[in-house]
Amino acid sequence: MRKFLLFLIILLSCTQIKASHIAALDLTYICLGDNQYEVTVKVYRSCELFSAEAPFSMPLAFYSTSCGFEIGEIFLERDENDPEDGIVVALLCEGDEWVTTCENAEDPDAFMGYESYVYRGILTLPAECPDWILYSYICCRNAGITNVVDPDLLGSVVEALLNNTPEVGCNSSPQFDYPPIQYLCPDFTRCIPQGAWDPDGDEMIFELTEPMGYDDALWVIEPPFTSIPYIAPYNYLQPFNGVTSIDPLNGDVCVTPNTLQTSVLAVQASEFRDGQLIGYVRRDAQLNVDYFGCQDPPPPPTGYLNNGVYTSSFDSTVCSGLPLDLEFYGLALNFVYINLISPPPQGSTVEITGNGTDSVYFAINWTPLLSDIGIHQFQIEVTDSSCPILNINTYTYQVEVIPSQVQFTPFSDICIDAPNLVLNQGSPAGGEYFGTGVSNGAFNPSSAGYGEHQIYYYYLDTLGCDDTIPQTIIVREPTATISGNEGLCYGAESVPLPVNFTGNPPWSLEYTYNGNNYTESNILNPNYNILSNIEATYELVEVWDDLNCPGSVYGTANIRTEDL
């Protein structure tokens, strides 16, 4: 029944789904909660003579192998209110003399133009499964593609992996903010970004993957899909006559094409959380290489860094908590535009002035927090006013936020009569120590006095990062106090004389009576008694704690004999 209904739908709309001259396609999703997802498919079609209009809707199929759900379908409606819907993706400079095939497909001097269309809908998944596959498809590809066998007989398919188990929760896919249609010049290196960002802040890894397709004779479009047949020696890793590479961390596809060509490639953006794959999305892209009045690509803008340190032309390092100011100036003979094409660091502010002049100012101001420790990237697009095709290049900048490198080793307790303690416990060496009892890089316990004291270590490094670390030091001075004025009856065995201790046990105690000195050790009870059975006056001489730190003694005790 499902295949029959799908057959009718495709039959009714085949004039739009076929012969559409599809150039690029991507699929993303946003979690709305309760297993509902807003799914977006963007279709890019080439404007050619007699090419069909964009379809009214796009199919979205979904299934889960592990949960045993067979393929289901919904259709995504065109979102004509989206600012990217129905626009021409031409990258032409301004001027009435430059037109694309979207404005006039019969003009032999028109540049190939492309239009983008946006389709959206709500998908409600029937269960929580780790391997939902979503896919959308349309036929057929652009006939002008030069690296694929019979491209106009091949459909285009993009898919996404969605995991909605409780371990992952309400997760959204990576999003793409940069169009997958670009113009390149032969023998010039151009790096094309994805403009990718993840709404949940998950780690993204990018790779080139095999574009998927299907034969245009098929009426029911189901997996497994085949990889499109590249013309030898091209393949999905090297789809150009030239050198192709991808940055796995930001998705930049860098190409140095050698000849005129129109090539198809596919990019997969996988998202990881705690090292585990939780989803991916794929997009088909088409890159066009031609002589468009090619000039050297605009150079990277001159950068200035206030606070932090440059580790390379595009990388810098800064400590958390320290304000970071990155400033860029674009200077060129032609007018220059600088635009941020990826989200800036969270909590930062962006300032751009002078776009469209020969002196553009671009700045990012940011004070990273402890929660920002790690690597952050942002991408800017630099455009000059070369004609007829805008001369564009993109550059990726990386900021590594590092924690404080200052460490301060804890202190052991120290006796009050100990010599000055040389302070060398802070690292890196070369900082400043201060606090009670600290002078000239040493701690004087007798000057500080008995009890707890804070010693601080301050260090300023070459990055301009500073930190102050406190440590507690305890000065030991035990005390012992004897008291009592007791009567001893003739014939009694003994009477107790109370001795009270402060400090850390076990204590040792020296005391005297009748001209003789006595010592008692390993005293654990702070409320101790000396037992006496003779008439005498008791005086304390010295007390020591467990570290053998000497202390102070107080008081006397008297024993007198009495008749019964």
SS (H, E, C) 188-235: CCEEECCCEECCCCCEEEEEEECCEECECCCCCCCCCCEECCECCCCC
* pLDDT tens, position by position, 345-364: 888 999 988 887 777 888 88
* pLDDT tens, position by position, 477-531: 999 999 988 776 766 678 888 999 999 999 999 999 988 999 999 999 999 999 8
* pLDDT tens, position by position, 185-232: 888 888 888 989 899 989 999 999 999 988 876 667 888 888 999 999
* pLDDT tens, position by position, 419-441: 999 999 999 999 999 999 999 99
pLDDT at 1 over 50: no
* pLDDT tens, position by position, 230-259: 999 999 999 998 899 999 988 999 999 999
Question: SS3 of 8, please?
Answer: helix
pTM of the shown model:
0.70
The number of beta carbons lying within 10 Å of the beta carbon of residue 416 is: 19
Predicted local confidence at residue 173, as pLDDT: 97
12 — pLDDT class (breaks 50, 70, 90): very low
Predicted local confidence at residue 216, as pLDDT: 74
Predicted local confidence at residue 549, as pLDDT: 94
Question: SS3 of 79, please?
Answer: coil
Predicted local confidence at residue 224, as pLDDT: 83
Cis amide prior to 83 (ω within 30 degrees)? no
Predicted local confidence at residue 14, as pLDDT: 39
pLDDT at 157 over 80: yes
411 — pLDDT class (breaks 50, 70, 90): very high
Q: What is the dihedral of CA 457, 458, 459, 464, to 10 degrees?
A: 160
The structure tokens listed for 59 are: 């199919």
DSSP string across 455-475: EEEEEE-TTS-EEEEEEEEEE
Q: What is the dihedral of CA 167, 377, 342, 21, to 10 degrees?
A: -80
The number of beta carbons lying within 10 Å of the beta carbon of residue 559 is: 21
Phi-psi category of residue 363: left, alpha or beta, with phi > 0 → left and psi -120 to 50 → alpha: beta
Query: Alpha-carbon distance 179 to 176, whole Å?
Result: 8
The number of beta carbons lying within 10 Å of the beta carbon of residue 409 is: 12
Q: What percent of the chain has pLDDT over 90?
A: 52
> Pick the residue with more confidence: 295 or 156?
156
- Phi and psi at residue 3, in whole multiples of 5°? -65, -35
Over residues 153-175, mean pLDDT = 95
Over residues 290-318, mean pLDDT = 68
- Range name among 9-23, 92-106, 307-321 with the lowest pLDDT average: 9-23
Predicted local confidence at residue 491, as pLDDT: 60
Over residues 80-87, mean pLDDT = 94
* pLDDT tens, position by position, 109-140: 888 889 999 999 999 999 999 999 999 999 88
Predicted local confidence at residue 218, as pLDDT: 65
pLDDT at 303 over 70: no
The amino acid at residue 264 is V
Q: What percent of the chain has pLDDT over 70?
A: 90
The structure tokens listed for 308 are: 């932090």
370 — pLDDT class (breaks 50, 70, 90): confident
* pLDDT tens, position by position, 464-477: 778 889 999 999 99
Tokens 């585990």 identify what position?
276
Write down the mean pLDDT value for the chain.
Answer: 86
* pLDDT tens, position by position, 518-537: 999 999 999 999 988 888 89
8 — pLDDT class (breaks 50, 70, 90): very low
Over residues 316-339, mean pLDDT = 75
Strands 485-489 and 556-562: parallel
Query: Alpha-carbon distance 301 to 331, whole Å?
Result: 7
Q: What are all long-range contacts of 293-297, with beta carbons under 8 Å and residues at least 24 apart?
A: 293/386, 293/387, 293/388, 293/389, 294/185, 294/186, 294/188, 294/389, 294/391, 295/384, 295/386, 295/391, 296/188, 296/391, 297/188, 297/189, 297/190, 297/391, 297/392, 297/393
Predicted local confidence at residue 384, as pLDDT: 78
Counting beta carbons within 10 angstroms of the beta carbon of residue 166, is it exposed (0 to 12), middle (13 to 18) or buried (19 or more)? exposed
